[in-house]
Structure 1
Amino acid sequence: MKVYVDVIILENFIINLFLITITLQTVRIKFSFVRASLGSILGAFYTLLYFFPSLSVVVSLPVKLLIPLIMIYITIGKLNCLVLLKSSGVFLLWSILLCGFIFAFSLMNNPYDLFSAFTLKNIYLKYMLLALMIIYVFAYRTIIFIRDRKSLTDFFYEIEFSDNSKKFRVKAFLDSGNELTEPATTLPVILINKNYLEGFSEVGKGSLIVPYKVINGGKGSLEGFRMNQIKLYKDDKLISTKDAVICLCKDQFSPYDDYGALLSRGVL
């Protein structure tokens, strides 16, 4: 009998990824698609051990029950025993349900009788199920991505200010937990990526030092300058005009380049 290792790994990877997705959906735990893929790869390679009779201990029942737990741990990245046991149990239940579903459809598509062994000949159903699993996983990830992006757009604004004769308009994100202010003037601080202010000159604006402290206890300071009459827009509608302190940064705030500035709550 010929065994195609690449096919076995690919098929089991798809099945494991599907099972991890519906398992963590069931227990309502958010997870990373990359980490889920790593857990699925582990499960796929574990399947190859069944082809080595000398490794029968590794494929014994206790180890079989341990593998889903490790896969879930890799996916969620949290060592919470209760959550891991609960998720692993749900994973096993979904696995049993999936096996029963596949076997039931196999009986309908392959002739059999009570006096002979059951032989699986028509395997087109397998590819159909694998295709449905792929569609489900990617559809789920797409829906999550669109939903998260939609929730982010509620915090998108635009700021506009002038530098002598030149106007700058930058899309900004309202960081609701950010209360950064300049201590001397008590003005709110706006962080802007330098790449969005091409041609902007800081000469003659005066320098202000803005100290900050992050959650992990780290401290630092930013150099900024006061900018008057900054206009704040939401959906092209002018909301307010305020003075603020602008600090220029080299860091990119959005991995998708959606916005180039961070607003503190004081801007509103």
Structure 2
Amino acid sequence: MYLDLVIALNAAVNFFLLWLTGLIIHQKTTLKRLVAGSVLGAVFILVLLLPSGSSLFTWLGKTLLPPVMILVSFRPRLVSQGILLLLVFYFCSIAMGGLVLAFSLWGRYPVDFSRGIYYLPAPSLFCLLFAGIFLYFLVRWLQPLLLEKLNFHLPSVDLQLEISFCGKSKKLSAFLDTGNMLKEPFSGSPVAVAAYPVVEELLPPEVCKVLNSSRKIDWDKLEKALTGINNAARFCLVPYRSLQGEGFLLGFKPENVKLWQKGRNINFKGKIVIGIQQEQFASGTEYEVLLPMEVCRFAGRQEG
């Protein structure tokens, strides 16, 4: 098989595995990112053609390649989210490889045994295609189990979070972020993350003035601004750690929070904090606030 065909086939398999990873844990991304991640993984096959003296580099590349593919394809915001994506990607890869091997053996392809090693022929395109289809339907069949036992997903169709603060109320389109495990350190309340522009109208003018002054929060100015407002006690600091570093988000405790879905609502009064992210979410995203996993568990208890 020509090298360009090998790379193309490898890219197609990588794309399927990355797409399936996002499907399992409902991690949104874009087609461009998936293509970039899959092509990056496919091009690595060229490293295998380097001289044998580069075995250390080859093994280093094999170790670093999956995390890099995950970073390029999904851009996880938190370390825990990246680890979850990586583990699911490994699971999909191993399952795909096992299915291809099983279908190859069932197809009675000749197996060569020499010096204690089994030598298998390259799998046919039929085996790859059939294994992919089988794995896809297997994931679809297991989704209820993942939802119930592993809390991978709160059905995120038409989710909206209604936030009431400082006498104002606003509904934001929401998405359950499986990697969001942030908590306010003193109360232990889970934290939903929203970009500053979408919650600006809910905040006191004194706070908005500080947040608008620069891309990074001047905590000294913010402290002075909070001393002049009545509901300063409703603001807090939320520590976070992400792939880009660590720091603090400014958070506030709404008077009331409701989660809406298809006419139904769940009240989270006093049970959730809104963390303010200075920059906007990535362009093309359809959500305005990222919900923590604790929302899924609380919703399950409410409905149970």
* Length-normalised TM-score, structure 1: 0.47
Higher normalized helix content (fraction of residues): 2
Q: Which has the larger radius of gyration?
A: 1
